[in-house]
A and B are shown apart, each in its own frame.
Chain A
């Protein structure tokens, strides 16, 4: 693992910030790992004790929050903002939900390219964070072919 230079594909080595809430979102995110090979990956999630699953990578724990916990949401927002300002990732990738939304949004402000993957749990209706993140996601994906529309989200496979 070189600290700089080129990735295994020959392109420039990028800094990826991979973000998700705990539980299903996190397990879905971990299943994307083979795609990160050759790049620097920093993880961000909401549950302490997750480090053992991403050994060898830096991990930030941020407070969990959702649309029903407005005050905590504000704390998460500020927390994520400062982490993004410090990390300055080239790429932000998230599988949801609230912390991922903030990370994509602030990542975009700081010039990152952003990818959002809707959870496979949502087979019939897009989640709130997925709907809100649309303008800030350079690539906006669903995991169900029947949810794809010409304006997005797009279907490009799933985590299974």
Chain B
């Protein structure tokens, strides 16, 4: 089934593919919201749901909400066949936990999207570690979505922290004061 890609699979099951785009809750991220809205306009058969936070741009083709409580946020994740997100670590970790393909776009300080460029630094390193898709420019989104679906790539390492870290913490807790 993987050869058909996720969109085909959902179609065969009688449903629509669902993309969940999320930009976190702290800062607006108009660049990503706009890009995804433009993509949704070009792909009317696709269902795109967005959690857009304080973004000024309000989408016309993406079904959107500003904020989403943890429970329903998780449900959106589970329902989606692809996550498109700002490079927030929480969203990346949730994709790893739920084994959802994810494409992230880091915020850039020079464009006023964050206070610093830590998202750029994080994704560079996480890309090597965890198998997540990364785009830096809006123009890369189309191809990234196609590639991610074609390869059906999912993030690696599903459950908990590394053994080394868990052992360190277990020993720390167990040690007598």
Contacts and interface: CB of A to CB of B under 8 A. Distances in A.
B56 interface: no
Contacts of B66: none
B89 interface: yes
Main secondary structure of the interface of B (DSSP, over half): helix
Contacts of B168: 139, 141, 156-157
A31 B89 CA distance: 13
Interface residues of B, number: 42
Given A49-B69, A90-B177, A157 B94 contact: no
Contacts of B26: 23
Contact-residue size bin, chain A (C-beta under 8 Å from the other chain): 35 or more
A143 B96 CA distance: 17
B11 interface: no
Interface of A: 7, 9, 11-12, 14, 16, 23-28, 31-37, 39, 47, 49-50, 52-53, 90-91, 93, 111, 113, 115, 117, 119-125, 138-139, 141, 143-144, 156-160
11 contacts: A14-B174, A35-B165, A36-B173, A50-B70, A53-B70, A111-B177, A120-B89, A125-B118, A143-B165, A159-B165, A160-B96
B162 A157 contact: yes
A48 to B, nearest CB: 8
A160 B96 CA distance: 8
A158 B165 contact: yes
Interface in B109-159: 116, 118-119, 121-122, 124-126, 129-130, 157
A33 B97 CA distance: 14
A91 B174 CA distance: 10
Nearest to A156: B168
